Amino acid sequence: MPVSKRILESISLSGKVAVVSGAASGLGFGIASKLAEAGAAVAILDVNAETGNEAAASIEDTSGSKAIFIKCDVTSNASCKETVEAIIAAFGHIDILCNNAGVARRKNVVELEEKDWDIALNVTLKGVYMLSHHIVPYMIANGGGAIVNTGSGWSLRGGENAVSYCAAKGGVLNLTRAMCLDHGKDNIRVNTICPGDVDTPMLRSECEQLGGAYDEKFREECAQRPIARLGTPEDIGNAVLFLVSDMAAWVSGAHLVVDGGGIAG
């Protein structure tokens, strides 16, 4: 049987404008691509201009939706303010915000240097606050919106040699809950996506920081979970699409674990 028009409309993002941070590659690119496939115009934010421009061009080519790249330092108030103003100038409104930018530093509390703590917390946690600070007022003026913050399985439990990452991702989860309480009255839904190991440049970086080789053996070890494979950026993009669509119209303050069942054990 054909899919009903009502179902198609509930997952469509046609006419929506989405902002995705850390979207030049990895999870962010997967999220931005999926939202564009669903019909949203997408603003891709990242500090990597070359890769970001390539990502925007690729999304436009494959989805047919409008995609622009804006270089943005999510730790900077001035950069976030200018970025949001540029998005409003380009599209007129913002309906969806995906706070995805993050930095992983794989060290314990003794080995971790202050500068690495600062960059991990500033990008991964402060960045969520900073973009939300500038975008939420536009959402309120526009009658509402949907925000998805990228957490982690380590938002919910600790991990070895990852103190700054665990602290930041734990903060993202509770920040999400607080934002949900504050802005439900504004018709703004706020949720957390909690990915497991996904085959991305960040996972490669974590492997190399721990002295390993990002080879088939490492990937097989990461895939030891009930659904026995690594995640893909598309897996996470699909889950985010659900959370920002009308299919999740009564979902807010929640965290959705997308990890092949890994955290269940």
Q: Which of these is catalytic: 129, 138, 165, 214?
A: 165
In whole angstroms, give the CA distance from residue 113 to residue 135. 32
Burial 50-63 (b: 16+ CB within 10 A, else e): ebbbbbbebbbeeb
Token representation of residue 156: 């919910």
Token representation of residue 192: 């957390």
In whole angstroms, give the CA distance from residue 153 to residue 73. 25
Distances 145 to 28, 81, 185, 233 between C-alpha atoms, Å: 19, 19, 11, 23
99 phi, psi to nearest 5 deg: -85, 95
* 214 annotated active-site: no
| Residues labelled as active-site residues | 165
